Structures are given as structure tokens and as C-alpha cells.
Chains A and B, each alone.
Chain A
């Protein structure tokens, strides 16, 4: 019985580990997309990178709320799987052999959170920063 419990736990743990990786990847990509329309053009301009292709990025601005929403959904899923679910599943006191998400994946979640927070805050802080 204990053996089966362990196997089931670690299999579920593996599956969750993969889900967290997907959620983190989705979060990072979504955060980059959310930054692409307003923050990235400013960064490019400051670095002297130019090109008509940047116009393709700025034209995505109306979709930014969608990018932000999708990113937040990915991140919420990721955080739930990393912090909330393991606590609930291991509550019964049985030995938990589920694999913990690798540190890199957690780092990706936090980095994506920082980036999407920046994307959300940017319209409010930029005028003050840029002096317009």
C-alpha cells in the first residue's frame, strides 16, 4: 500500500513538475509579449536599435491587455502548483515523494512576474520618468 502511494505521488509530482515548467514558460513568453509594444520600443530607441519592423511591435499595443491577462493566468497556475497544491496534497502526513520544481523554473516564474508588473506599471510611471 505504501509502495503504491509513493509511486502515485511521484508520478503526480512529475506531471505537476512539467505543468509548472509549461506555466513558467507561458508566463515568460506572455510577459515578453506584454512588454513588446511599449517598453521594448523605448529600450530599442535608447540603445539605438531602429527599423521599420519596430512598427509591427507598436501596432500590437491594443492587444496588450490580452497578453497581460494570459500571462497572469499562466503565472497564477504556476504559483498554485508550486506553493499551494503540494501543501494540500501532503497534508495527510504521508511521505511525499513528489518532485520539487527546479530552482530555475521558480526563478522563471518570479522573473516573469517582475516583467509583467513592469508592463502593467509602465503607462503610469513613464510620463514621470520621461518628463513628458
Chain B
């Protein structure tokens, strides 16, 4: 009985873990130095290249990038670093 309970609880934990970590997060980044109309293209491409990023929308008017990503595969630091390395420093808007 206890062994079955133990197995069931382990299975429940594994399932819970699997479901919980497959989470898509959406975050908005404030991006610097996007003064020219062509610059959003670089920002968008640099973010799209990060593994785990599912969708990127860059706004030239608002100087921001909205990114949907799998938080299992990448981190906010990786996102801001990707744009910064391309020449456009960014930070997360809280």
C-alpha cells in the first residue's frame, strides 16, 4: 500500500514538474539606440536566434521588444544579452 502510494506520489510530482516547466513567458524589453528605421530588424533577428524564443515583436515607436519564450530553454539575461551584443542594449520592463 505504502509502496503504491509512494509510486503514485512520485508520478504525480513528475507530472506536475513536467506541466509546470513547459511554461511560455512573455516579457517586454525596453531597447536602447533604435534610432533608425532599419534597426528593429537587427533587434528582432538577434532575439529570434536565441534558442527557446517563440515569438518576437519589435516596436520602433515604443522602442520596445515583446518576446515570448520557453523559460525552460532560455533566460531573461540571455535575451537582453542577445540584443546588447548586437549593439542595442535592453532591459526588462518590470
Contact = CB atoms under 8 A, between A and B. Distances in A.
Interface string A26-44: 0000000000011001101
B25 interface: no
Contacts of A57: 87
Interface residues of A, number: 22
Interface size range of chain B in the complex? 20 to 34
B39 A41 contact: yes
A52 B84 contact: yes
B33 interface: yes
Interface stretch (A12-20, A105-113, A123-131): A123-131
A54 B38 contact: no
A132 interface: yes
Chain A at the B interface: SS class? helix
A35 B36 CA distance: 12
B86 A54 contact: yes
A123 B37 contact: yes
Contacts of B85: 50-52, 54
B42 interface: yes
Nearest to A53: B87
B38 A127 contact: yes
Contact of A42 (B34, B38, B44): B38
Nearest to B58: A132
Contacts, number: 65
Contacts of A55: 32-33, 84, 87-89
Nearest to B86: A45
Nearest to B42: A45
B74 interface: no
B46 interface: yes
B86 A50 contact: yes
Given A45-B86, A52-B84, A55-B87, A38 B32 contact: no
Interface stretch (A1-9, A58-66, A81-89): A58-66
A122 interface: yes
B41 A130 contact: yes
A126 B32 CA distance: 20
A126 B37 contact: yes
Contacts of B36: 37-38, 61, 122-123, 126
